[in-house]
Structures are given as structure tokens and as C-alpha cells.
């Protein structure tokens, strides 16, 4: 069974709010909206949403307050901020406070669609607590480890020297370290012949990576 994703739009501009709601409904999402942060939070208390799309500057309660309160009430809900004043500083602040992404006004329709698809794809990681608890998202962000996982997905099984040669890694010690990290996080394993392959969790992880890459 495919469950429809729930999205909450919090935007004080009625034209933009209604336009976004219509757009996302056409994409197949269940959409609700609120005209200010306080009313949006009230909805969050009563219902679980997969994604909150909120404006940064609003009366009553601004987007940063919405973000912090959302993460307090519904830690698993992803928040995307809409801002007309994007700077490195406020982007960093938003990410530190738990935002999944942000969109700068004026934006294109397909940008909103892409951001939401990407956030929902990333949320697939949360289906696997053993991966999240071990901080695998941070671990997999390393290019060598990410490339190794993708390589093993294509090849099935490879020896250490084969991985080293295909990825063109000169430092064997460095590769050994990265492979150990992946083993510790239950992403890859070795058989009795010391051949590397993906674990079940690793295969699930690569499927999520494919979705993220496709949405990006």
C-alpha cells in the first residue's frame, strides 16, 4: 500500500499559499495550510505531517520559531523554509536549528517540487534506525565511502585490491580505514574469502541514495 504524504504549508500570502497548495495536491500529496505560524503549530499538534513548508517572515510567529517548535513537537517532521532574504548566515542558522532545506523567493514551481521530493527521499533513511543511530548519513557523505557503496551495488562483490584500483585510490591505508567505517556501520560485510559486499542495510541505503540523486 502507498501512503499519501502529508504536507503543511504555512504562508501569510494567501495567493502564494493557495498556489502552493494546488500545485502540491496535483503532485499527489495531501495538503493542509495555515496563514500564520501559530495556526500552523496548532495543526501540527493535532496531526502528523511529513513536511512543513513555511515562510520565514510572517506575523504572529515567524518561520524560525515555527521550525524550532516543529522540531520540538514533531522531531521526525521535515521543515523547508521559504525566504526572500537568503544569506549564508541565516541558511546556516536554519540548518543548525533542524531545517532540511530552504527555498529563496522568487522561486520556480519545479524547484519546490524538487526540494520536497529530495527531502522525502532523504527521509527514507529514517526507516532504518540502526543506520540513523550510527550516524551513517554523516559517514556516507565521505566521497570514498559513498563511491564504495555505489561500486559494490553495481559489482556485487569485490576484493580490496579491486575496489582500490577501480576507485583509483593510491593510499591503501586510507581505503582500509573507510572500509572499516562502513563495516562498523553495517553497510558492507566480508565473506570467508574476505570479499566485500553490501549488507541488507547497505542495499536499503543505496536505494535511498538513488532516490536522492534522482530528486537532486
Q: Report pLDDT digits (tens) over 107-143.
A: 888 888 888 988 887 776 666 555 444 456 666 767 7
**Which pairing describes strands 188-190 and 196-198: parallel, antiparallel, or unpaired?**
antiparallel
In degrees, rounded to 5, the angle at the alpha carbon of residue 117 between the alpha carbons of residues 216 and 69 is 115
Q: Are 161 and 109 found together in one domain? A: no
Question: Can you tell me the distance from the alpha carbon of 208 to that of 146, in angstroms, rounded to the nearest whole number?
Answer: 12
Query: Omega into 106 within 30° of 0, i.e. cis?
Result: yes
- Which are the contacts of 211, defined by CB distance < 8 A and separation ≥ 6? 121, 124
Tally of domains within the chain: 2
Query: Residue 190: which domain range?
Result: 129-215
* Residue where a domain terminates, one of 126, 155, 179: 126
Given a cut of 80, whether residue 43 has pLDDT beyond it is yes
Helix/strand/coil for 129: helix
* Residue where a domain terminates, one of 126, 161, 192: 126
Query: Predicted confidence band at 93 (pLDDT cuts at 50, 70, 90)?
Result: confident
Question: Can you tell me the distance from the alpha carbon of 25 to that of 30, in angstroms, rounded to the nearest whole number?
Answer: 6
Given a cut of 80, whether residue 7 has pLDDT beyond it is yes
* Residue where a domain terminates, one of 93, 126, 159: 126
Give the rounded percent of residues in the chain with a pLDDT score beyond 90. 50
Give the Cβ contact number of residue 207 at 10 Å.
Answer: 13
Q: Are 60 and 107 found together in one domain? A: yes
Question: Can you tell me the distance from the alpha carbon of 38 to that of 176, in angstroms, rounded to the nearest whole number?
Answer: 51
Radius of gyration of the chain (CA): 20
Q: Are 116 and 163 found together in one domain? A: no
Amino acid at each position: 500500500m502507498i501512503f499519501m504524504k502529508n504536507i503543511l504549508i504555512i504562508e501569510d500570502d494567501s495567493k502564494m499559499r493557495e498556489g502552493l497548495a494546488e500545485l502540491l495536491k496535483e503532485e499527489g500529496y495531501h495538503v493542509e495550510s495555515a496563514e500564520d505560524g501559530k495556526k500552523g503549530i496548532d495543526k501540527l499538534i493535532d496531526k502528523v505531517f511529513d513536511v512543513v513548508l513555511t515562510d520565514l517572515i510572517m506575523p504572529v510567529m515567524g518561520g524560525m520559531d515555527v521550525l524550532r517548535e516543529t522540531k520540538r513537537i514533531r522531531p521526525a517532521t521535515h521543515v523547508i523554509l521559504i525566504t526572500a532574504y537568503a544569506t549564508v548566515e541565516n541558511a546556516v542558522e536554519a540548518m543548525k536549528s533542524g531545517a532540511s532545506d530552504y527555498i529563496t523567493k522568487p522561486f520556480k514551481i519545479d524547484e519546490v517540487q524538487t526540494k520536497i521530493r529530495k527531502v522525502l527521499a532523504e527521509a527514507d533513511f529514517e526507516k532504518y534506525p540502526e543506520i540513523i543511530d550510527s550516524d551513517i548519513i554523516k559517514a556516507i557523505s565521505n566521497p570514498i565511502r559513498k563511491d564504495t557503496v555505489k561500486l559494490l551495488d553495481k559489482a556485487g562483490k569485490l576484493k580490496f585490491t579491486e575496489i582500490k584500483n577501480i576507485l583509483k585510490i593510491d593510499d591503501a591505508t586510507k581505503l582500509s580505514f573507510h572500509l572499516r567505517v562502513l563495516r562498523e556501520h553495517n553497510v558492507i560485510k566480508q565473506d570467508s574469502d574476505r570479499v566485500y559486499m553490501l549488507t541488507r542495510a547497505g542495499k536499503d541505503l543505496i536505494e535511498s541514495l538513488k532516490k536522492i540523486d534522482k530528486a537532486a
